[in-house]
Chain A
Amino acid sequence: MTFLVFMLIRAIPGNPAQVILGQQATKEAVEALTIKLGLDQPWYTQYFSYLGGILKGDLGESMRTRLPVADEIWPYLAATLELALFAMIIAVVVGVNAGIISAWFQNSWFDYSAMVLALVGVSMPIFWLGLMGQWAFAIELQWLPTTGRENVRDPVSAITNLYIIDTLIQGRFDQLWVVIKHLILPGLALATIPMAIIARMTRSSMLEVMRSDYIRTARAKGQKMFWVVYKHALKNAIIPVLTVIGLQIGLLLGGAILTETIFAWPGIGRYIYDAINFRDYPVIQSGILIVAFIFVMINLIVDLLYGLIDPRIKYD
């Protein structure tokens, strides 16, 4: 993984020293910086010194800001985690419920409109959706803010950098509300695609389960439909949905760049994106490494959840 990323980003043309110093720089300056950054060394020397660093918990130093990546990465990561988590809650709550209700009332108007919306949701460009959201809710209706994480005139003092938690720690409930409002538009924009995918997955999975014998038995025993659907059916239908949810969280982390750009969200997507533009190798490498690590962890958690829901699934 580290090797792949390492080689790939070095395959992009462009000398980091030149990019860092900008169009205005002289040749000598570029040469001096190239040597200082160790970019004149052969690639394997660079790779092994990077690998050695990682093993010691050292992610290298950003070429652009000259700060250790390990020190500067957390605020960006926190911003994205907060947004992705918020988006995922929206996507799961709305998506799963919409899927269930669609399956429950199959071929009803709700079913049709939900599935049409889901189709639209999957194919909607986030860029357009984000700007339209800003126009409608921020400019026309003035309910929500357009960009950023907080009211910059009354900033949140960062402790954990997860602003919801920070405002709670400080007991600033007025700020908590402001922070949540800043989350809504980018959260919705980010949630649209996973929400649509989850809804469709839940629906088809539920439809299959609803046709099975034990559901018919449960209904025949006179149990309330709500109970049948939400308890008996969902429990069996949820496993494939869970897989999809796990994958979508990973995609959220990676796919946050557009949302973060439109909503000026200071997250890891933009951090890595800027680093790519500046050919800031250590930041790209470490950023991707961390996102990949989180992705793996999420899938691990999903796997463990299977066992919790369905005891027949065991890992020996």
Chain B
Amino acid sequence: MRKGKLWSFALIMLLILSTALAACSGGDDNEGSGDKDKDAADKGGSENKTLVFGRGGDSTSLDPSRVTEGETFKVTVNLFETLLNFGEQDTTVQPGLAKEYDTSEDGLTYTFQLQEGVKFHDGTDFNAEAVVKNFERWANGDSDTFPYYNSMFGGFKDDEEHVIESVKADGESTVIITLKRPQAPFLKNLAMSMFAISSPEAFEKGDDEYERNPVGTGPFKFVEWKPNETITIEKNEEYWQEGLPKLERIIFQAIPDNSARLNALLSGEIDLADGINPADGVKIEDNDALQLFERPSMNVGYLGLTVTRAPFDKKEVRQAMNYAIDKQSIVDSFFEGRAEVAKNPMPSSISGYNEDVEAYAYDPEKAKELLKEAGLEDGFEMELWAMPVPRPYMPDGTKVAEAIQSNLADVGIKAKIVSYEWATYLDKASKGEADAFMLGWTGDNGDADNFLYVLLDEDNIGSNNYTYFKNDETHKLFLEAQTEVDEDKRIELYKQAQEILHEEAPWVPLAHSIPLLGGAKELTGFVPHPTGSDLLSNVEFK
């Protein structure tokens, strides 16, 4: 009996609760707008000093030297500084923590004059000794701990291929770096986010500890990290550059879905959002409360043709593929026109880009002719691998693949669209299992070497050269360019290489996309950087 009563009581409570809940949603109106007011007051006018930056993913680490993944650098570029900086919207080399730098005639000795009076966030001094300790830390590591150091400087301390001979302090504020052999992109490499200078006192406590307690000299200091949710950084009051940063606080919030992120921007919960779909660009432009930002392109989206697989071992077939695909219409329909049609494997913003290469026109007849030459007048069947995930250089892999499929059908090539989950896709493609695959690349340091050598040289077969393309002439040119210190000569070498790549056609270059960001109207001073990591020290609300 008592138990029975208990149950009826519980049921009645449930009913009451449900009514209360229903009533609640009615009362929401007031409370909701009240909160909105508070939000508005928080944001309103000159009062607002907090920026919420919505992005697609969380960081893996806050020690930039240990990771290769872009979401991390978006945060660390604001916490740390590098000896040299990139230009505001390009990858030219500018002074950074080193106010002056000098290259010896033979390209082997670099002398850096450091900024004086700069302090790390933990109060210790930034000086030549600190720089040396940072380089020692990296050089004593292994390719697991410091993967980028390995790939940019050819190995570690005892390795044969290691480019850096020594890093020495000369007094408080002079650092001398000596190389074993000239390395053309050396200064650009130093400007990359991963070679940011950390406080030796902080990282000496242990690498794993340091990943979650970063200490740099940057305009912002680390505050808190809620995994998969937010990373909060705040103004460094002692920052050495007068008047900077302008914001008090920046919160990086991870919102994985692009549409949901746009919704959060529209509702004013976030002030800045990256990864805006090309199709949503207009929606932002038409909204009075928002503004659209275009990030200068430093990427390429392409269709790779695995040259070891028939019939793509024939040059004519590869050229035919280039003639058969209507790139302009792909850019118009799937990038909403917000991309440059590609003709070279790297974008025009990179020095060494060959303007004179004449793009393959959209010419199905010419394609058919070439196929006939190759003895394939009846066409052939192939697998066309479509990217399963949107990437900055490819907003919708499947739809672009469908367009390509129909282009190819017009010249008699039957393409079957195949897709795998992303990691599997990369794994299989790198083993050369695809006939033709869609992929892309975003540059690291804005150097031609970082596109051409990395993606199309025989040394990188099995890692980033997914087409297995191999050519003695380009190989020679790339190696020569790596040690050529004279910029004009280098440019010439890369231009020649692009001619050959165009003729050999291991790729169908598709597009250099322009990544979009959306922001609140009142936001000023935001300048999106081509590398994808934006320094936010100049940003403020009007």
Interface of A with B (CB < 8 Å)? 12-15, 18-19, 21-30, 32-33, 36, 64-67, 72, 75-76, 90, 92-94, 96-97, 130-131, 134-135, 138-139, 141-149, 151-155, 158, 177-178, 181, 230-231, 234-235, 261-264, 266, 270-271, 274, 277-279, 308-309
Contacts and interface: CB of A to CB of B under 8 A. Distances in A.
Contacts of B87: none
Contact of A21 (B68, B208, B267): B68
The 6 closest A-B pairs by CB, nearest first: A143-B32, A266-B228, A29-B143, A14-B423, A264-B255, A22-B68
A276 B345 CA distance: 31
Given A25-B463, A138-B263, A148-B269, A309 B227 contact: no
Contact of A97 (B15, B68, B426): B15
Contacts of B463: 25-27, 30
Interface residues of B, number: 70
The dominant DSSP class at the B interface is helix
Nearest to B420: A13
Contacts of B15: 97, 230
Given A19-B423, A153-B50, A143 B28 contact: yes
B260 A24 contact: no
A93 B17 contact: yes
Contacts of A96: 14
Interface string B205-230: 00010010000000000001011111
A18 B253 contact: no
B269 A309 contact: no
Contacts of B428: 13
A265 to B, nearest CB: 9
Nearest to A177: B31
B68 A139 contact: no
B52 A277 contact: no
A134 B260 contact: yes
A235 B6 CA distance: 12
A295 to B, nearest CB: 22
B14 A97 contact: yes
Nearest to B462: A27
B69 interface: yes
Interface of B: 3-4, 7-8, 11-12, 14-15, 17-18, 21, 28-29, 31-33, 35-36, 39, 42, 50, 52, 57, 60-61, 68-69, 142-144, 147-148, 150-151, 208, 211, 224, 226-230, 232, 251, 253-257, 259-261, 263-264, 266-267, 269, 421-424, 426-428, 430, 441, 444, 462-464
Contact of A147 (B3, B50, B264): B264
Contacts of B11: 230-231, 234
A128 to B, nearest CB: 10
B32 A270 contact: no
A25 B260 contact: no
A149 B427 contact: no
A133 B68 CA distance: 36
A261 B389 CA distance: 15
B18 to A, nearest CB: 4
Contacts of A67: 208
Contacts of B142: 32
A147 B273 CA distance: 13
Contact of B256 (A27, A155, A270): A270
A64 B211 CA distance: 12
A212 to B, nearest CB: 17
Contact of A178 (B35, B226, B424): B35
Contact of A13 (B147, B148, B424): B424
Nearest to B20: A93
Residue from B232, B253, B267 whose CB has the most chain A CB atoms within 10 Å: B267
B59 to A, nearest CB: 10
Contacts of B8: 230-231
Given A97-B18, A262-B257, A181 B35 contact: yes
Nearest to B36: A142
A282 to B, nearest CB: 15
A61 to B, nearest CB: 10
Contacts of B33: 142-143
Contact of A131 (B32, B143, B263): B263
B18 A93 contact: yes
A262 B35 contact: no
A76 B228 contact: yes
A63 B16 CA distance: 48
A147 B260 contact: yes
B426 A23 contact: yes
Contact of B464 (A23, A152, A158): A23
Residue from B3, B11, B266, B464 whose CB has the most chain A CB atoms within 10 Å: B11
